[in-house]
Amino acid sequence: SQQGEEDPQALSIQEGENATMNCSYKTSINNLQWYRQNSGRGLVHLILIRSNEREKHSGRLRVTLDTSKKSSSLLITASRAADTASYFCATVSGGSNYKLTFGKGTLLTVNP
Amino acid sequence: SQTIHQWPATLVQPVGSPLSLECTVEGTSNPNLYWYRQAAGRGLQLLFYSVGIGQISSEVPQNLSASRPQDRQFILSSKKLLLSDSGFYLCAWSVGGANTGELFFGEGSRLTVL
């Protein structure tokens, strides 16, 4: 079963614009992670935010976490064509320390 | 630095044939190892994870099995492939559990069962 659900499923923007992707989850978490996947490639970890954190930055990435709403958002500022990829949120659930559950992802297309 | 290798990158197999996908990690000791499968247009499904040599946890009953014969080697196998086994298989490793840190993924193995 899926813990995280990304929204929207697909997003198309112009270079230079900001991209916002949302993730909702169902059960309490220790942390929430965002990953990026270029087409046909493996996943790359972007950022991890712990349950006691509300916001985290890494370069052009900004992640927020609202545990009361069980939701997170990933903001990519000043997007570039190279940001085109699928973005996934992932959480640990079910009392397991190892079962990282991914959503279906948001496909971001940045048009030059 | 740590690296993870998966092979083969692409595989086309007939129904009923056996499967062996291999994953090795370099530059770290006693990693936690994972096999995920990604079906077209879907998220990743955790298949197996291992916290040590010979220790395999299965998340989903299926036609596949995993083994960890060495500390940094993780193998995904099947005796007889089904059409539904087609997909993109990803190996990953982590230092601690996923509740403490990130996973590092390989480049994947694309399996097509005909």
Give the B-side interface with A, CB within 8 Å.
Answer: 32, 34, 36, 41-44, 46, 49, 51, 57, 59, 88, 90, 92, 96-108, 110
Q: Which residues of B touch A44 (CB under 8 A)?
A: 105
How far, in Å, CA of B19 to CA of B38, rounded?
Answer: 17
**Which of A45, A46, A96, A100 to mutate: most B Cβ within 10 Å?**
A100
pLDDT bin (cut points 50, 70, 90) of residue A3 is: low
Cβ neighbours for A87, distance < 8 A, ≥ 6 positions apart: A6, A21, A34, A35, A36, A37, A46, A74, A105, A106, A108
Could you check whether the bond before residue B8 is cis, i.e. omega within 30 degrees of 0? yes
pLDDT bin (cut points 50, 70, 90) of residue B101 is: confident
> Would you call A25 an interface residue with chain B, using a CB distance cutoff of 8 Å?
no
Interchain pair B44, A88: CB under 8 A: yes
Q: Of A100-104, B79-83, B103-107, which range is least confident?
A: A100-104
pLDDT bin (cut points 50, 70, 90) of residue A1 is: very low
Q: With 80 as the cut, is the pLDDT of residue A50 above it?
A: yes
Q: With 60 as the cut, is the pLDDT of residue A2 above it?
A: no
> Would you call A99 an interface residue with chain B, using a CB distance cutoff of 8 Å?
yes
Q: Which residues of B touch A42 (CB under 8 A)?
A: 90, 105-108
